[in-house]
Structure 1
Amino acid sequence: MAERMPVRRGERREWGGAPDAWQEPFRELEELWDRMGQLFDPGWAMTRTGVAWQPMVDVEETENAFLFDVDLPGVARDDITVEVRGQELWITGELKEKERTGVLRRKMRRTGSFSFRGSLPGEVDADEIEANLMDGVLSVKVPKSQQSTSRRIEIK
């Protein structure tokens, strides 16, 4: 016989009888643990509008540019904003909750607002920044200005 999964409180249960506390004795502890994890998770941040999560980002510096690869699976292109503010790259947006028809048994995927700020050392050419979203990865190329690129000086 298949094991039945309990559903969230307040929803109708298939099997009656015992109170919620007996059917799901560790539910409240698990929810508290999840909330505490958000407080200590470096992927969550407080913003002016509330709590936002921070996507995973790889930053690479080449001779001519800074390259940012941002993991944003499931985020629509129109829900992402990329800006340069002074010497910082700002990537913000929202991963919208998908509409469900069934009962949500467990939620572990992040949804809601996200935010990333990365410092850009040196001068950059803001007019030539390129951003592409492909296979859930946002790739942002921030070219260095001609003044900030390095060159080797011959010693005489």
Structure 2
Amino acid sequence: MRFNFVPANDLRNFGFAVPQTTNFCEGKVNIAETKDAFEIEIILPGYSKDEVTIKVEGNYLTVSAQKTETEKTETRKYNHREFNIAPFKRTFEFPETVEAKAIVAKQNNGIVTLVLPKKEAAKPVSLQIEVQ
């Protein structure tokens, strides 16, 4: 089963006019499938669970994160800064075989893991058929 992404790079590949630079950072993603579920892992270092939002609309799952400036920026001036505080947003189109109401998310060591369980009817059935 293939998941469809909706990031800017994929749109450019099909001739859509999408700016080369965006205000969003695109985190790296792993997608795996087991017999019972799909699993999505997204690297989001530096974001707390309160800064991460996950929404399901129809067959689309959107993960976004917004970092708020800390007081440190008000009390000091940076000479060089590489930490990314750009917002993150990634949308996935999942198959109809996913039980959307049962999606679970957890965050550990900067990685958000989403488990999208498959509906019972979508799970593979193994039967032994006797030849007559």
Query: TM-score with structure 2 length normalisation?
Result: 0.71
The aligned residue for residue 78 of structure 2 is 104
Based on CA coordinates, which of the two structures has the bigger radius of gyration? 1
Q: Secondary structure at the match of 2:123?
A: coil
Q: Is the 8 A contact 1:60 1:66 kept in 2?
A: yes
Q: Is the 8 A contact 1:80 1:93 kept in 2?
A: yes
Q: Is the 8 A contact 1:55 1:70 kept in 2?
A: yes
Matches of 2:127 and 2:81, distance apart in 1: 57
Query: TM-score with structure 1 length normalisation?
Result: 0.61
Matches of 2:124 and 2:108, distance apart in 1: 31
Out of 87, 95, 120, the residue aligned to residue 94 of structure 2 is 120
Q: Percent identity?
A: 23
1:154 CA drift (Å) = 4.2
Unaligned 5+ segments in structure 1 are 1-38, 46-50
1:68 CA drift (Å) = 1.0
Matches of 1:153 and 1:121, distance apart in 2: 25
The aligned residue for residue 27 of structure 1 is none
The aligned residue for residue 90 of structure 1 is 62
Matches of 1:132 and 1:53, distance apart in 2: 20
Unaligned 5+ segments in structure 2 are 1-18
Matches of 1:95 and 1:103, distance apart in 2: 19
Q: Is the 8 A contact 1:52 1:112 kept in 2?
A: yes
Q: Secondary structure at the match of 2:122?
A: coil
State the 4+ residue runs in structure 1 displaced beyond 3 angstroms. 152-156
Matches of 2:83 and 2:51, distance apart in 1: 17
1:152 CA drift (Å) = 3.3
The aligned residue for residue 134 of structure 1 is 108
Residues 96-140 of structure 1, C-alpha deviation per residue, up to 9 Å, x if partnerless? Answer: 233233331222222132101112123211221111111111111
RMSD (Å), alpha carbons:
2.0
Supply the AA of the counterpart residue of 2:51. Answer: D
Structure 2 residue 44 is matched with structure 1 residue 72: yes
The aligned residue for residue 54 of structure 1 is 26
Out of 101, 104, 125, the residue aligned to residue 151 of structure 1 is 125
